[in-house]
Chain A
Amino acid sequence: MKLLVITQSRNRAGRTVQVRKDVTADWVRVGRNAASEVLLADPRIALSQGLIVDRNGPVYTEGEMGTMTSTTRKAVRAVRLSPGTTLDIGPYKVSALVPPPGYTGAITVELVRPAENVAGEFLTRAAKLTLASLRLPKRGVALALFALVAIAFFLLPAARVLDLPWRQPEGVAMASDRFWNPGPVLLAHQPVELKCEACHQVAFRQVLDAACLECHARIGHHVAPAMKPAALFEGRRCAECHRDHKGVKATHRDDDRFCADCHRDIRSRANGSQSQDVSDFAKDHPAFRLSLPSEAGARRVRQGGAPIEEASGLVFPHATHLDPAGVKHPGKGRVVLDCQACHHADASRRGFVPVAMKRDCQACHRLAFEPAMGEREVPHGSPREAITVVREFYANLALNGTEDSFEKAFGVPGAGLLRRPGVPSEEARRAALALAGERAERATRELFGSRLAASGRKSEQVSEELFQVRVCSACHEIAEREGPEGTRWEVAPVRQVSRWMPNARFDHASHAQSKCADCHDVARSKKSADVAMPRIEACRECHGGSRPVERKVTSNCLLCHGFHEQKHPWDPRFVPKAGARVAKGPAVAH
């Protein structure tokens, strides 16, 4: 098929312009597609609008080829292009002409309704087709949100802290910095929770120790001054271990890492340390050290070597007192004692009050000195007072004693000086005083004298039993010193230990389910020097290390130890960096 296509248009001057084009093809494509032989370049035309085929002359068909893509979706139409025929293809007018010789057909194509000429009333009602055309304020919203966040959450709250120009006078709270608070503070810190500058004293600097020490003025350092803790902890801050805003309960974690970091190899950190290396209670905790009393103060001795002996100055065999058959009681016969008979819990129930003579011993260990008058006892605690009481007692007896008591006390018949008729002669007075003094001297010697010395005189005095229980040396170590004023009795000072391991926290109440003897094996102890403190092995029967183990109490360092050595306060010296901006806080309106 050979087709003559005349494209007709008007130039600017309004003259008709014709472009002629010969097309030779089996079929001729009509459409917007650039490959179309008859190109109808108008948006209203489909890419493949139609075809002109040769069916004994040119026939325009539509919809055969382009049914899928044809957007007109018109019904198929076929128009024979016999000369004189005109047809509308969208805005184009196609007219069939008489074909010149040699041509199958001829057509003119003219855009009769150009897009710009469309009446277009509808176009005015289809002007705003996108969100952008509605002028939705994307940037405006973005900038507004930016400003809102910046102003409400930073610029206003920061005005006070950084002393910015729009800072409000005190008491006018425009925006609070409470929204800067990252989390709840420790319960004890909640009174100052809204007063940030109480702790955050210097802007853009980490919380300074001085802020902590304002309240925690008496917090202990980790080690004694001898270890130079300030140098040891140079550059470390409270807040490195204590992090607040992490919940109301704790600012630190019970974590062995804190301790083991240094104590795993303690001498590399602190050369003079007396401690042994430790990283875990179950694994490598060294044997316990006991603080033993001595003349020079406490002396720490590690368990595991020679048996440890204390020097309490007392004579006390536990075995005798815990005899299952009981001990002899002056009034009640044999009495079986248990630990609680002498050891009483203190108010906290954690430990025990020291054993006291009057409360715990004297019911049996009576301090009577005159067999004839068993009720009379010397006061406990001061040898001088005891001797004075004995002297006064016998002097009084020598003055006022009845014949009966006089004879029992002095072993000779007679009566008190004042009970005799007549005025006592100087000689009689001296004799009575000498008698009383000698008797008092003997009684004192019996009280204080060693058991050995006393037993040598037992025949002339009371029964052995009574004698044995009343002497001071039953419990005390006594020294007899001859001086210019006569014999002086010295009772060795008593050093009862109530805290054997002062650096460990131990709560007896928490261990109440155990028997005393589980840890303190005293039933066979015959010497008061025996120390019945448990060894670490006993603890490890129940206590494991920091890693959980079946049937063991998981135990980390802080279960028994504290970090802060209470006796030596933290060094509160601190110098803030010069020029740092200091947060100026109001007296916060809560």
Chain B
Amino acid sequence: MFEAMVVGVSAGGLHALSGILSCLPLNYPIAILIVQHRHRDSDHFLDEYLNKLSAVRVKEAEPGEAILPAHVYIAPAGYHLLVERDKTLSLSIDPPVNFSIPSIDVLFQSAASCYKNHLIGLILTGASSDGSQGLKTIKEYGGYAIVQAPQTAEVDVMPKAAIELVDVDKIIPLEALGQFLIQDLLNSTVVNGGETDE
């Protein structure tokens, strides 16, 4: 069974995230962690806006916070978001990775070594190649890799880069993503390492 999903998104993210998060039910059993590239001085608009239109709780990630199901944690602007092995969140101001802070690779790679085959990685719209390496790491740890179908992305650079580098499990159009996350994924019609437990 999957415990967490990490999401990487850049340009065009607001629309994509709104569509996906608003589909999830209040008791969604998976924790979601998101890196959305944005300006360092961004305020709380993103998490407050997404929280309003979602049944699940959407909030800015705080250091030391325990990761809970049915919660969505957004990386604060200007900080890398990482997952500790005890399933708590941490932040850093280490140098940018792929010119980005927060960086998708940083989140994905730390989450992969924590959740291993209980993790889903999702790459959405964006004009960057950040996240591809991280998605690859998730696969190496036995996790599940999903990419938004490039033709449904506002900017297709990021999904294309991920598909190019990684042997992804699923490529899904934006409009079908929400449904996939609440049905296919939870009904374990998805076959991966997640079902053969350690």
The yes or no verdict on A and B being binding partners is: no
Interface residues of A (CB under 8 A from B): none
Interface residues of B (CB under 8 A from A): none
